Structure 1
Protein backbone atom coordinates (compact mmCIF):
# COMPACT_ATOMS: atom_id res chain seq x y z
CA UNK A 1 0.00 0.00 0.00
CA UNK A 2 2.74 2.52 0.87
CA UNK A 3 4.63 1.71 -2.35
CA UNK A 4 1.55 2.52 -4.43
CA UNK A 5 0.98 5.68 -2.40
CA UNK A 6 4.59 6.82 -2.93
CA UNK A 7 4.36 6.22 -6.67
CA UNK A 8 1.15 8.26 -6.83
CA UNK A 9 2.75 11.13 -4.93
CA UNK A 10 5.81 11.07 -7.21
CA UNK A 11 3.60 11.06 -10.32
CA UNK A 12 1.61 14.01 -8.99
CA UNK A 13 4.81 15.99 -8.35
CA UNK A 14 6.15 15.14 -11.80
CA UNK A 15 2.85 16.19 -13.39
CA UNK A 16 2.84 19.57 -11.62
CA UNK A 17 6.54 20.13 -12.34
CA UNK A 18 6.01 19.53 -16.06
CA UNK A 19 2.92 21.74 -16.09
CA UNK A 20 4.76 24.52 -14.30
CA UNK A 21 7.77 24.30 -16.63
CA UNK A 22 5.52 24.36 -19.69
CA UNK A 23 3.66 27.41 -18.39
CA UNK A 24 6.90 29.28 -17.69
CA UNK A 25 8.29 28.63 -21.17
CA UNK A 26 5.02 29.71 -22.75
CA UNK A 27 4.71 32.83 -20.60
CA UNK A 28 8.30 33.99 -21.07
CA UNK A 29 8.04 33.56 -24.83
CA UNK A 30 5.21 36.07 -25.33
CA UNK A 31 7.05 39.33 -24.70
CA UNK A 32 10.55 40.78 -24.62
CA UNK A 33 12.45 43.50 -22.82
CA UNK A 34 13.47 46.05 -25.43
CA UNK A 35 16.17 48.72 -25.48
CA UNK A 36 17.22 51.62 -27.69
CA UNK A 37 19.80 50.43 -30.26
CA UNK A 38 22.53 52.68 -28.80
CA UNK A 39 22.45 50.89 -25.42
CA UNK A 40 25.76 49.06 -25.10
CA UNK A 41 24.49 46.49 -22.59
CA UNK A 42 22.84 43.79 -24.71
CA UNK A 43 22.84 41.22 -21.84
CA UNK A 44 21.65 41.95 -18.32
CA UNK A 45 21.22 39.99 -15.11
CA UNK A 46 17.78 39.67 -13.55
CA UNK A 47 19.16 41.54 -10.53
CA UNK A 48 20.12 44.52 -12.71
CA UNK A 49 16.75 44.40 -14.49
CA UNK A 50 14.98 44.59 -11.12
CA UNK A 51 17.18 47.51 -10.08
CA UNK A 52 16.43 49.36 -13.34
CA UNK A 53 12.66 48.93 -13.12
CA UNK A 54 12.78 49.59 -9.37
CA UNK A 55 14.37 52.94 -10.31
CA UNK A 56 17.49 52.17 -8.25
CA UNK A 57 19.93 51.81 -11.18
CA UNK A 58 20.18 55.04 -13.17
CA UNK A 59 22.99 54.53 -15.70
CA UNK A 60 24.10 51.88 -18.16
CA UNK A 61 27.61 50.43 -17.87
CA UNK A 62 28.95 53.09 -20.27
CA UNK A 63 27.59 55.91 -18.09
CA UNK A 64 24.59 56.76 -20.29
CA UNK A 65 21.38 57.63 -18.45
CA UNK A 66 18.67 54.94 -18.34
CA UNK A 67 15.18 56.04 -19.36
CA UNK A 68 12.54 53.56 -18.13
CA UNK A 69 9.21 53.25 -19.92
CA UNK A 70 6.30 51.21 -18.53
CA UNK A 71 2.66 50.63 -19.32
CA UNK A 72 -0.17 51.47 -16.94
CA UNK A 73 -0.52 49.41 -13.78
CA UNK A 74 -3.67 47.69 -15.04
CA UNK A 75 -2.24 46.70 -18.44
CA UNK A 76 -2.01 42.91 -18.76
CA UNK A 77 1.50 43.08 -20.25
CA UNK A 78 2.73 45.23 -17.34
CA UNK A 79 1.28 42.78 -14.80
CA UNK A 80 2.82 39.76 -16.59
CA UNK A 81 6.18 41.50 -16.87
CA UNK A 82 6.20 42.41 -13.17
CA UNK A 83 5.24 38.92 -12.00
CA UNK A 84 7.30 36.86 -14.44
CA UNK A 85 10.44 38.93 -15.02
CA UNK A 86 10.73 41.04 -11.86
CA UNK A 87 9.09 38.54 -9.50
CA UNK A 88 6.96 41.25 -7.90
CA UNK A 89 3.33 42.32 -8.19
CA UNK A 90 2.64 45.52 -10.12
CA UNK A 91 1.09 47.20 -7.08
CA UNK A 92 4.27 46.51 -5.07
CA UNK A 93 6.35 48.13 -7.78
CA UNK A 94 3.99 51.13 -7.79
CA UNK A 95 4.38 51.46 -4.00
CA UNK A 96 8.18 51.51 -4.38
CA UNK A 97 7.95 54.22 -7.08
CA UNK A 98 5.53 56.28 -5.00
CA UNK A 99 7.87 56.07 -2.01
CA UNK A 100 10.75 57.40 -4.13
CA UNK A 101 8.66 60.26 -5.51
CA UNK A 102 7.05 61.30 -2.22
CA UNK A 103 10.34 61.15 -0.30
CA UNK A 104 12.06 63.23 -2.98
CA UNK A 105 14.77 60.61 -3.49
CA UNK A 106 13.82 59.46 -6.98
CA UNK A 107 11.42 59.45 -9.89
CA UNK A 108 8.80 57.12 -11.26
CA UNK A 109 9.29 55.66 -14.76
CA UNK A 110 7.62 57.25 -17.76
CA UNK A 111 4.18 55.77 -18.45
CA UNK A 112 3.02 54.99 -21.99
CA UNK A 113 -0.53 54.19 -23.04
CA UNK A 114 -0.07 51.66 -25.83
CA UNK A 115 2.31 49.24 -27.50
CA UNK A 116 2.75 51.68 -30.38
CA UNK A 117 3.74 54.45 -27.97
CA UNK A 118 6.14 52.10 -26.13
CA UNK A 119 7.85 51.18 -29.39
CA UNK A 120 8.10 54.81 -30.50
CA UNK A 121 9.43 56.06 -27.13
CA UNK A 122 12.06 53.32 -26.75
CA UNK A 123 13.12 53.62 -30.40
CA UNK A 124 13.50 57.41 -30.22
CA UNK A 125 14.95 57.88 -26.70
CA UNK A 126 18.67 57.17 -26.19
CA UNK A 127 19.26 54.87 -23.21
CA UNK A 128 15.62 53.73 -23.16
CA UNK A 129 14.30 50.40 -21.88
CA UNK A 130 10.78 48.97 -21.94
CA UNK A 131 8.89 45.81 -22.85
CA UNK A 132 6.57 44.72 -25.65
CA UNK A 133 4.63 41.74 -26.92
CA UNK A 134 6.79 39.89 -29.44
CA UNK A 135 4.27 40.54 -32.21
CA UNK A 136 4.66 44.32 -31.70
CA UNK A 137 8.46 44.42 -31.86
CA UNK A 138 10.05 46.00 -34.91
CA UNK A 139 13.65 44.78 -34.72
CA UNK A 140 14.83 47.53 -37.07
CA UNK A 141 13.93 50.18 -34.49
CA UNK A 142 14.78 48.53 -31.13
CA UNK A 143 17.00 45.76 -29.79
CA UNK A 144 15.88 42.88 -27.59
CA UNK A 145 17.67 42.69 -24.25
CA UNK A 146 18.91 39.24 -23.24
CA UNK A 147 18.16 38.45 -19.58
CA UNK A 148 20.52 36.05 -17.82
Structure 2
Protein backbone atom coordinates (compact mmCIF):
# COMPACT_ATOMS: atom_id res chain seq x y z
CA UNK A 1 0.00 0.00 0.00
CA UNK A 2 2.81 2.43 0.90
CA UNK A 3 4.68 1.62 -2.33
CA UNK A 4 1.56 2.37 -4.34
CA UNK A 5 1.15 5.73 -2.55
CA UNK A 6 4.81 6.62 -3.25
CA UNK A 7 4.36 5.73 -6.95
CA UNK A 8 1.32 8.03 -7.20
CA UNK A 9 3.15 10.77 -5.34
CA UNK A 10 6.10 10.62 -7.77
CA UNK A 11 3.73 10.65 -10.73
CA UNK A 12 2.05 13.77 -9.36
CA UNK A 13 5.39 15.48 -8.80
CA UNK A 14 6.54 14.58 -12.32
CA UNK A 15 3.28 15.83 -13.83
CA UNK A 16 3.57 19.09 -11.90
CA UNK A 17 7.14 19.64 -13.13
CA UNK A 18 6.08 18.99 -16.73
CA UNK A 19 3.22 21.48 -16.41
CA UNK A 20 5.54 24.13 -14.94
CA UNK A 21 7.97 23.60 -17.81
CA UNK A 22 5.20 23.89 -20.40
CA UNK A 23 3.80 27.05 -18.85
CA UNK A 24 7.27 28.62 -18.92
CA UNK A 25 7.61 27.80 -22.64
CA UNK A 26 4.15 29.23 -23.35
CA UNK A 27 4.90 32.44 -21.40
CA UNK A 28 8.21 32.85 -23.26
CA UNK A 29 6.44 32.50 -26.61
CA UNK A 30 3.75 34.98 -25.60
CA UNK A 31 6.34 37.51 -24.42
CA UNK A 32 8.32 37.35 -27.66
CA UNK A 33 5.10 37.85 -29.67
CA UNK A 34 3.85 40.74 -27.53
CA UNK A 35 3.57 44.13 -29.20
CA UNK A 36 5.61 47.08 -27.95
CA UNK A 37 5.50 50.77 -28.75
CA UNK A 38 8.84 51.96 -30.13
CA UNK A 39 10.31 55.43 -30.59
CA UNK A 40 13.41 57.03 -32.06
CA UNK A 41 16.09 57.37 -29.33
CA UNK A 42 16.21 61.18 -29.78
CA UNK A 43 12.71 61.42 -28.28
CA UNK A 44 14.31 60.67 -24.92
CA UNK A 45 11.23 59.71 -22.89
CA UNK A 46 10.59 56.30 -21.38
CA UNK A 47 6.97 56.33 -20.16
CA UNK A 48 3.72 57.74 -21.51
CA UNK A 49 0.07 57.55 -20.49
CA UNK A 50 -2.36 55.53 -22.56
CA UNK A 51 -4.38 58.71 -23.22
CA UNK A 52 -1.29 60.49 -24.58
CA UNK A 53 -0.51 57.47 -26.75
CA UNK A 54 -4.07 57.59 -28.12
CA UNK A 55 -3.61 61.29 -28.84
CA UNK A 56 -0.41 60.58 -30.75
CA UNK A 57 -1.83 57.73 -32.82
CA UNK A 58 -5.08 59.66 -33.28
CA UNK A 59 -2.87 62.37 -34.86
CA UNK A 60 -4.03 64.98 -32.31
CA UNK A 61 -0.73 65.35 -30.44
CA UNK A 62 1.81 66.61 -32.94
CA UNK A 63 4.96 67.26 -30.87
CA UNK A 64 6.90 65.59 -28.08
CA UNK A 65 7.44 67.43 -24.78
CA UNK A 66 10.92 68.44 -26.00
CA UNK A 67 9.36 70.14 -29.06
CA UNK A 68 10.41 67.49 -31.60
CA UNK A 69 7.66 66.87 -34.19
CA UNK A 70 6.00 63.46 -33.90
CA UNK A 71 6.14 61.20 -36.96
CA UNK A 72 3.70 58.28 -36.62
CA UNK A 73 4.37 55.05 -38.53
CA UNK A 74 1.77 52.28 -38.84
CA UNK A 75 1.28 48.99 -40.64
CA UNK A 76 -1.68 48.51 -43.02
CA UNK A 77 -5.15 48.32 -41.48
CA UNK A 78 -5.41 44.57 -42.22
CA UNK A 79 -2.06 43.67 -40.61
CA UNK A 80 -2.44 41.39 -37.58
CA UNK A 81 0.15 43.37 -35.60
CA UNK A 82 -1.71 46.64 -36.29
CA UNK A 83 -4.90 45.10 -34.89
CA UNK A 84 -3.05 43.73 -31.87
CA UNK A 85 -1.42 47.12 -31.18
CA UNK A 86 -4.71 49.04 -31.41
CA UNK A 87 -6.52 46.64 -29.10
CA UNK A 88 -3.76 45.97 -26.54
CA UNK A 89 -1.92 49.29 -26.31
CA UNK A 90 -4.58 51.85 -27.29
CA UNK A 91 -7.63 49.91 -26.05
CA UNK A 92 -9.56 50.79 -29.20
CA UNK A 93 -10.55 48.97 -32.36
CA UNK A 94 -8.51 49.52 -35.52
CA UNK A 95 -11.55 50.85 -37.39
CA UNK A 96 -11.77 53.65 -34.80
CA UNK A 97 -8.23 54.75 -35.69
CA UNK A 98 -9.05 54.66 -39.40
CA UNK A 99 -12.20 56.71 -38.79
CA UNK A 100 -10.25 59.37 -36.87
CA UNK A 101 -7.59 59.56 -39.60
CA UNK A 102 -10.22 59.80 -42.35
CA UNK A 103 -11.96 62.69 -40.53
CA UNK A 104 -8.68 64.59 -40.33
CA UNK A 105 -7.90 64.01 -44.00
CA UNK A 106 -11.36 64.86 -45.35
CA UNK A 107 -11.76 67.93 -43.15
CA UNK A 108 -8.33 69.21 -44.18
CA UNK A 109 -7.22 69.61 -40.56
CA UNK A 110 -4.58 66.89 -40.51
CA UNK A 111 -2.96 63.96 -42.19
CA UNK A 112 -2.82 60.21 -41.77
CA UNK A 113 0.23 58.48 -40.29
CA UNK A 114 3.03 57.22 -42.53
CA UNK A 115 2.31 53.72 -43.83
CA UNK A 116 5.01 51.02 -43.83
CA UNK A 117 4.65 47.57 -45.36
CA UNK A 118 6.58 45.38 -42.93
CA UNK A 119 8.00 45.21 -39.44
CA UNK A 120 11.51 45.51 -40.89
CA UNK A 121 10.54 48.74 -42.63
CA UNK A 122 8.84 49.95 -39.43
CA UNK A 123 12.04 49.44 -37.42
CA UNK A 124 14.21 51.08 -40.09
CA UNK A 125 11.93 54.12 -40.51
CA UNK A 126 11.49 54.70 -36.76
CA UNK A 127 15.25 54.27 -36.19
CA UNK A 128 16.13 56.77 -38.93
CA UNK A 129 13.45 59.43 -38.30
CA UNK A 130 13.92 61.77 -35.30
CA UNK A 131 10.62 62.04 -33.40
CA UNK A 132 9.27 58.80 -34.86
CA UNK A 133 6.92 56.39 -33.12
CA UNK A 134 5.62 52.98 -34.18
CA UNK A 135 5.22 49.44 -32.88
CA UNK A 136 6.86 46.05 -33.26
CA UNK A 137 6.74 42.55 -31.83
CA UNK A 138 9.13 42.40 -28.89
CA UNK A 139 11.21 39.75 -30.66
CA UNK A 140 11.93 42.18 -33.55
CA UNK A 141 13.18 45.07 -31.41
CA UNK A 142 16.89 45.89 -31.40
CA UNK A 143 19.13 48.69 -30.11
CA UNK A 144 18.29 51.02 -33.02
CA UNK A 145 14.95 51.93 -31.37
CA UNK A 146 13.74 52.52 -27.83
CA UNK A 147 10.71 50.90 -26.15
CA UNK A 148 8.13 53.38 -24.85
CA UNK A 149 6.37 51.99 -21.77
CA UNK A 150 2.65 52.69 -21.28
CA UNK A 151 1.49 53.78 -17.81
TM-score range relative to shorter protein: 0.7 to 0.9
Q: Following the alignment from structure 2 to structure 1, what is the Cα–Cα distance between the partners of residues 148 and 76? A: 21
Query: Does the 8 A contact of 2:72 with 2:133 survive in 1?
Result: yes
Query: Does the 8 A contact of 2:47 with 2:150 survive in 1?
Result: yes
Could you tell me the TM-score, scaled by structure 2's length?
0.78
Could you tell me the TM-score, scaled by structure 1's length?
0.79
Q: Following the alignment from structure 1 to structure 2, what is the Cα–Cα distance between the partners of residues 102 and 120? A: 30
Structure 2 stretches lacking a partner, 5+ long:
1-29
Q: Following the alignment from structure 1 to structure 2, what is the Cα–Cα distance between the partners of residues 43 and 88? A: 20
Matched, 1:103 2:107: yes
Matched, 1:57 2:61: yes
Once the two structures are superposed, residues 93-120 of structure 1 have per-residue CA deviations (whole angstroms, 9 ceiling, x without a partner) of 1011000001000110001000000000
Higher CA-based Rg: 2
Cα 1:29–1:48 change in 2 (3 A) is: farther
Q: CA deviation at 1:29?
A: 6.8
Q: Which runs of 4+ in 1 moved over 3 A?
A: 26-29
Identify the range of structure 1 (83-92 vs 46-55) with the bigger mean alpha-carbon deviation: 83-92
